[in-house]
Amino acid sequence: MATAAAHQAARTQAAHATSDATGTAPGQAPGTAAYQTAFDTAVAAEERIEPRDWMPDAYRATLVRQIAQHAHSEIIGMQPEANWITRAPSLRRKAILMAKVQDEAGHGLYLYSAAETLGTGRDELLDKLHSGRQKYSSIFNYPTLTWADVGAIGWLVDGAAITNQVPLCRCSYGPYARAMVRICKEESFHQRQGYELLLALSRGTEAQHAMAQDAVDRWWWPSLMMFGPPDDESSHSAQSMEWKIKRHSNDELRQRFVDICVPQAESLGLTLPDPDLVWNEERGHHDFGAIDWTEFWEVLKGNGPCNEQRITQRRQAHDEGAWVREAAATHAAKHSEAKHAEAQDSGANGKATA
């Protein structure tokens, strides 16, 4: 909200620029330069950009793309874990898992709402997801083969998500930053339940320990890929950092995640499947092995083990939910009609008694 004053000043300046054509770069509409200056100043001063503030078209488009991909990942991410709700080994585990999957639906809602503040409706975004024009995180195209996968997803996938998302709480766009605060709190619970689940398995029977180890072996590398391509191949990174949408590079965040996970794996009594993983005294970080980026690009192109299944199930859920959306819209229309009639009545009564 701190941008209000700066933007008000820019509006006044822009209005002057419109009348005397000053402060206008060649090819720009009169006044745009003043708005751009106000935007740049606000971003540089760590102020938040709010929905009614002027912003460059490319900033808006970048945010819509990123928030949409994030929202899609939240709702597609419900599928691999929901797969285990009916087979959770105890009532306690089932209740925890259901709460977690519901949280992910909630995260989707906050994020679609954040995208709406940028002028892009949920219908449009869902349509793009269903037609393959927008992506979701590739991690959810891997199958959940055993109960231990629920633990590995919580510990590693939600853990990687937190590493990525904590800096987004300081994102320059207000509604996105504020949504991330709540999301990160819930993601911490997800990470902890996964860790605790794996710990129970790791300390259980030999077969349970082996199941936990197998899940970690399969989820480790895809989790590292969640941070996106290496910095020198990441097309959007530099501009996003300049706009303070992003605060750290993909490689920085990936390194941070590896450094966090190594001691946690030790406490779990599990190993990370990387023979090259070693502490580097000089760098003060862990070195780790080469990531198979061919696999990443293949999964991204749609050739992962579950791409087809995930999107088919999503489309089906959307179609099956049509009656709920229609009922909600009809109810809302009736409600607003009733309110309108009530307001008219009280207005008429007011006149009658006046």
Name the minimum Å distance from CB 305 to Fe ion.
21
Name the minimum Å distance from CB 5 to Fe ion.
35
Q: Which is nearer to Fe ion, 47 or 187 (CB)?
A: 187
Determine the size of the site formed for Fe ion (CB under 5 A): 6
Name the minimum Å distance from CB 49 to Fe ion.
24
Q: Which is nearer to Fe ion, 10 or 71 (CB)?
A: 71
Q: Which letter does DSSP use for residue 138 in this model?
A: G
Q: Which is nearer to Fe ion, 104 or 274 (CB)?
A: 104
Q: Check if the beta carbon of residue 94 is closer than 8 Å to that of residue 82.
A: no
Q: Which is nearer to Fe ion, 158 or 274 (CB)?
A: 158
Name the minimum Å distance from CB 306 to Fe ion.
18
218-222 long-range contacts, CB within 8 A, separation 24+: 218/142, 218/145, 218/149, 218/152, 219/142, 219/149, 219/152, 219/153, 219/156, 219/157, 220/156, 220/272, 220/273, 220/274, 221/273, 221/291, 221/292, 221/295, 222/138, 222/139, 222/142
**First vs last C-alpha separation in the chain:** 42
Buried b (16+ CB within 10 A) or exposed e, 157-191: bbbbbbbbbbbbbebbbbbbbebbeebbebbeebb
Strand partners, 278: 287
Region near Fe ion per CB under 5 A, out of 70-78, 89-97, 132-140, 319-327: 70-78
Q: Which is nearer to Fe ion, 42 or 253 (CB)?
A: 253
Q: Which is nearer to Fe ion, 150 or 199 (CB)?
A: 150
Beta-strand relationship, 285-287 and 278-280: antiparallel
Q: Check if the beta carbon of residue 140 is closer than 8 Å to that of residue 310.
A: yes
Name the minimum Å distance from CB 107 to Fe ion.
4
Name the minimum Å distance from CB 142 to Fe ion.
16
Q: Which is nearer to Fe ion, 3 or 165 (CB)?
A: 165
Map residues 91-120 to x or -, x wherever contact with Fe ion holds by CB under 5 A.
Answer: -------------x--x-------------
Residue 244 touching Fe ion (CB under 5 A): no
Footprint (CB under 5 A) of Fe ion, residues 136-195: 158, 187, 190
Longest dimension (CA), the chain: 86
Name the minimum Å distance from CB 165 to Fe ion.
8
The residues that touch Fe ion, with contacts defined as CB under 5 A, are: 74, 104, 107, 158, 187, 190
